[in-house]
Amino acid sequence: MKTVTDRFLSYAKIDTQSDESSQSCPSSEKQWDLARKLVEELQEIGLQEITIDDHAYIMATLPSNIEKKVPVIGFISHMDTSPDMSGKNVKPQIIKNYNGEDIELNKELNMVLSPKDFPELLFYKGQDIITADGTTLLGADDKAGIAEIMTAMDYLIKNPEIKHGKIRVGFTVDEEIGRGADKFDVKKFGADVAYTLDGGQIGELEYENFNAALATVKIQGRNVHPGTAKNQMINAILLGIEFNAMLPVDQRPEYTKDYEGFFHLIDYNGQVEHTTFRYIIRDHDLEKFNDKKKLIKDCAEFMNLKYGSGRVTIDLVDQYFNMREKVEPVKYIVDIAEEAMYAVGVKPIKKPIRGGTDGSKLSYMGLPCPNIFAGGHNFHGKYEFVPIQSMEKSVEVIVKIAELFALSDL
C-alpha cells in the first residue's frame, strides 16, 4: 500500500497552477495531467462509479459494507495550486527528525525556513517535514488533502473489517481562483454531507468562513494640460487616494484577526483621466458585511456629491457567504469530526476561516461541507511546508469519521 507521503510527493511534482486570467474550465490545461493520474489511481485502488467530466471534475464511490442505512458522506479536495507562486518543477525535500533549527531550502539562494520567522515550526520538532527548494510553492494546498483521501480509501478497502457506509470522493479544479465549486454537480455527487480536506495545521476544524464581495471602483477624471489646469483638471488618481482614505484604517487585513472583517485594496491602476481599483470586502457577520458594502457605496455617493454626479461608480459583486448558516442545522457533522480527532489523538482547533473554501459554496448548493486540516503551513509561497505526521493523522481522521458514521443512529 502506498503511503500518504508517497502519494503526496508524486502529486506535488505535477504542475497544476490555475490561471485567473483564463475563462476556461479548468483554467489551465495542465490540471488535466493530475486529473488523469488520479482516475488511474482510483481504478487501481478499487473504487467504483469513477467519473471525470468535461471540466476535469472527478467523482468516485466506496460502496457501503454495512446493511444499516446511514448518511452518504463525501470527502473533497482540489487539484490546482495558487497563481501566487510557481508550481512548475517542484522539488520536494524531506527533513527527517527536524531538530528545531533553520531548514536550508536553497543553498545557492541562501534561503532558509526559520523558526524565527515561522515559530510554528517548533511544534514539529522531532517530526519529518516536507518543503520545496525555495523556488516554488510546495502544493500541500491541496495535494496533501488529495493524498490523504486517496490513502484513506485505499486503507478502508484493504481493511474490510472497518465498517462504513457509502462514501463519495470528489476532486475539483480552480479552487484557488474561486471557481472550485462552480461546475460541481451536487446532485450527481449524491452525498448527504461532506468534508473538504483543505485546512492548515493539524487539528483545524472549520465550519465558519467569511462573507465575501468584490468591489471594483472606477473614477472618471478630467485631464487638462497642467499649465492651464486651474479650476479645470480633476485628477482621478488623487480622487482615488481620497476615496481610500475615507475607509477605516483599522479595518484593513493587516490590522484584523479572528472574527474581524476588513476592506482590502488588492489592485490600483490609475492615470489622471481614469483610475480603477479593486477591494475585497470580508466579514463573518452578515450584518457587518452588509454594513461594509453600504459604507463603500456611501463613500462613492459622497464623492459624487463633492465632484459631480457619475464621477465615481462601483461594481459590487457578492462572491460567497458564511457556511455556518448551512452547517449549523446539521451540526452533527462537525461533532463527528471533532470526536474522530479526539479518538486518534488530535486536539481539535475550531476557528473561523479567514477566507473561503469550496465548502462554503457547496454548502449553499445543498451540500453542507465543513473543512478539516490537511496539515500544511505557509500556503501559496516558497516557505510552504507540511509535516508527514500531520498528513498521517489526517488519514486516520478520515477513516475514523467513516467508522463513526457507521456506528451512528442518524
User: Residue 62: beta bridge partners?
Assistant: 167
Q: Between the CA of residue 166 and those of 65, 76, 190, 257, 360, what are the distances in Å?
A: 8, 15, 10, 39, 23
Q: How far apart are CA 210 and CA 356, in angstroms?
A: 6
Q: Is 167 within 8 Å of 405 (Cβ atoms)? A: no
Q: Is 64 within 8 Å of 166 (Cβ atoms)? A: yes
Q: How far apart are CA 227 and CA 235, in angstroms?
A: 14
For residue 191, what are the contacts with CB-CB under 8 A and spacing of at least 6? 71, 72, 73, 74, 168, 367
Looking at the chain, the number of H-run helices and the number of E-run strands are 10, 17
With residue 84 as reference, give the H or E element that holds it.
Answer: none
Single-letter amino acid, residue 396: E
Q: Is 183 within 8 Å of 362 (Cβ atoms)? A: no
Q: Is 323 within 8 Å of 334 (Cβ atoms)? A: no
Q: How far apart are CA 372 and CA 336, in angstroms?
A: 12
- Closest CA relative to residue 184, chosen from 311, 84, 56: 56
Q: How far apart are CA 260 and CA 354, in angstroms?
A: 9
- Closest CA relative to residue 333, chosen from 262, 404, 388, 240: 404
Single-letter amino acid, residue 197: L
* DSSP at 71: -
Rounded (5°) CA angle 221-227-229: 35
Which residues are marked as active site? 80, 175
